[in-house]
Chain A
C-alpha cells in the first residue's frame, strides 16, 4: 500500500525556518517525481515545488522561489522541503504528492497524497 507521511510542521516566527519531511513507503520511491502542494486555512490548493526522481531539476512556484528548497534522499525514501524567510502567507497545510510515473516517464498528475502537516507562521 502506498503511503506518504508528512512531518516537521509546527509554529515558527516570521522570518524563521522549518524543514518538512515526507516519508514514503509501499512503492519504489526512486522511480517517482515528487511534489509539495499547500493549502492555507480555509483556502484552495496551491502548487509549491517539484523534484525529479533522481533529485535533480527542482522547480518552484514564484511565491516560494529563493526561499524554499526541495530535496530528496532516495536511500531513506524521504522527500524534504526546507523553508526559509517564512511569511504569514506561508501558513498552510503542506501536502506531499506523488506524480504517476511509469516506464521512465512521468505523467503530470498526482496519484497519491499524504495527509499533510500544518505550518503556522506567527509571532
Chain B
C-alpha cells in the first residue's frame, strides 16, 4: 500500500486559512469515509485532530475542519496561529483492518 500523497509543506501568515490535501486511490480515501488527521509537533506523539473525514474530537479547536471529495481529503486550518506550526498526517482505512498514512505536510506560520 503506497502512502497517501500530501504536499511537503504549506505556509501562511497568522490569521490566514490554509488547506492541506491528501490524495489516495479508490481503494482507500475514495472507498471509505474513514479519513483521520493527526498533528505532530517535533519530538512529540501524534495528536488526533479530525476523524471520519470531518468530525472534530472534543478539545480540538473549531479552526480545524476536514472534508473529502472523491479520492482527495482535505484539512483546513482557519485563523492560523503560531501553535499550529507542526507536521500534519492524514490516514485512511484501506480494509482488512489496515491503514495507510500520508507522507506528511509541514505547516509553517510565517
Measured CB to CB, the residues of A under 8 A from B are 35, 37, 44-47, 50, 52, 57, 59, 61-62, 95, 97, 100, 107-111, 113-116
Contact = CB atoms under 8 A, between A and B. Distances in A.
B98 A111 contact: no
B99 A47 contact: yes
A44 to B, nearest CB: 4
Interface of B: 1, 3, 32, 34, 36, 38, 40, 44-48, 51-52, 57, 87, 89, 91, 93, 96-104
A115 B45 contact: yes
Contact of A107 (B40, B46, B51, B100): B51
A59 B48 contact: no
Contacts of B40: 45
A59 B96 contact: yes
Given A45-B89, A61-B98, A109-B52, A114 B104 contact: no
Contacts of B47: 113
Contact of A114 (B1, B32, B45, B87): B45
B74 to A, nearest CB: 17
A58 B18 CA distance: 38
B106 to A, nearest CB: 11
A109 B48 contact: yes
Q: Which of A50, A97, A110 has the most CB of B within 10 A?
A: A110
